[in-house]
């Protein structure tokens, strides 16, 4: 089981506060790893360490290592923008650029490629490919010049996934991507995540344990910024090793 991405002894915080405590966690290639744990346990912060967004927060500090294909991703010589091209991110609330066309929203994803960004017909082809991949092409092929802000929440979130896929990331991080969506839109995103793992390594933060059970291969349980347990999802839900994990997955927590 090879890990594309891994945290090693990662400790992170802001100012005097420590949020992530000595987390060592590998994200295996082409698998979905779910990060679960109670509100405030540090899931979002951990995710944001992995693509170096955390360090953009004023007062942020971070110790330990993040490895991408075995190479140090945090080193002074590593270009954070280049890293974020390889490690894409989708947030809890859909974040389309309001007032901009559907097409331009998707196209914006290639900006991360700089001089290698496709243009013209090649760009149009990429847009179609990614809209098809997220299941939006049929719905939006005739609406490419509509304001993206007028799409439904579920469409906006799939649009954001398409935008992230435009720069061909190897890893996709999603922070509660369905928290703002209705059950039907949630199901579309879950199916998409399940399909994406054929090509990508996926890390998804979720509050929804059923969702973790449905979409993930591995589940990691965090508590108070520390990793309590990580294992195959089925094992975490049926035979957890740690009593705190058991309390959490059976809803008897706290």
Ligand X SMILES: Nc1ncnc2c1ncn2[C@@H]1O[C@H](COP(=O)(O)OP(=O)(O)OP(=O)(O)O)[C@@H](O)[C@H]1O
As measured in angstroms, the least distance from the Cβ of 45 to Mg ion is 8
**Considering beta carbons, is residue 44 or 245 the nearer one to Mg ion?**
44
> Does 14 contact ligand X by CB under 6 A?
yes
Of 53 and 196, the one with the shorter C-beta distance to ligand X is 53
CB 57, CB 14: distance < 8 Å? yes
What is the Cα–Cα distance from 2 to 102, expressed in whole angstroms?
A: 37
- Distance, CA of 170 to CA of 233 (rounded, Å): 22
In this chain, which stretch among 19-27, 37-45, 127-135, 189-197 interacts with Mg ion, using CB under 5 A? 37-45
Name the minimum Å distance from CB 28 to Mg ion. Answer: 23
The minimum distance between CB 55 and ligand X, in angstroms, equals 11
Number of residues near Mg ion (by CB under 5 A): 1
Q: Count the site residues for ligand X by CB under 6 A.
A: 12
Of these, 9, 17, 122, 250, which contacts ligand X (CB under 6 A)?
17
Residue 45 contacts Mg ion per CB under 5 A? no
Q: Which of residues 36-75 bind ligand X (CB under 6 A)?
A: 37, 39-45, 57
Applying CB under 6 A, the residues found at the interface with ligand X are: 14, 17, 19, 37, 39-45, 57
């Amino acid at each position: 089981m090879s890990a594309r991405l891994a945290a090693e002894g990662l400790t992170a915080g802001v100012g005097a506060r420590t949020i992530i405590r000595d987390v060592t966690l590998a994200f295996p290639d082409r698998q979905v790893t779910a990060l679960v744990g109670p509100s405030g346990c540090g899931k979002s912060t951990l995710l944001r360490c992995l693509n170096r967004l955390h360090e953009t927060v004023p007062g942020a500090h971070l110790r330990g290592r993040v490895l991408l294909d075995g190479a140090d991703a945090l080193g002074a010589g590593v270009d954070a923008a280049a890293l974020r091209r390889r490690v894409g991110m989708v947030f809890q609330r859909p974040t389309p650029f309001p007032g901009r066309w559907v097409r331009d929203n998707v196209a914006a994803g290639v900006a991360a490629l700089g001089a290698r960004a496709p243009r013209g017909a090649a760009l149009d082809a990429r847009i179609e490919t990614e809209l098809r991949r997220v299941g939006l092409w049929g719905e939006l092929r005739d609406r490419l010049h509509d304001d993206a802000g007028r799409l439904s929440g579920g469409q906006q979130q799939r649009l954001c996934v398409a935008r992230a896929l435009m720069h061909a990331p190897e890893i996709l991080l999603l922070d509660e991507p369905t928290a703002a969506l209705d059950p039907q839109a949630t199901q579309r995103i879950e199916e998409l995540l399940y399909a994406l793992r054929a090509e990508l390594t996926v890390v998804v933060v979720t509050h929804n344990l059923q969702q973790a059970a449905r979409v993930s291969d591995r589940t990691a349980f965090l508590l108070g910024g520390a990793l309590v347990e990580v294992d195959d999802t089925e094992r975490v839900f049926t035979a957890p090793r740690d009593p705190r994990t058991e309390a959490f997955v059976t809803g008897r927590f706290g």
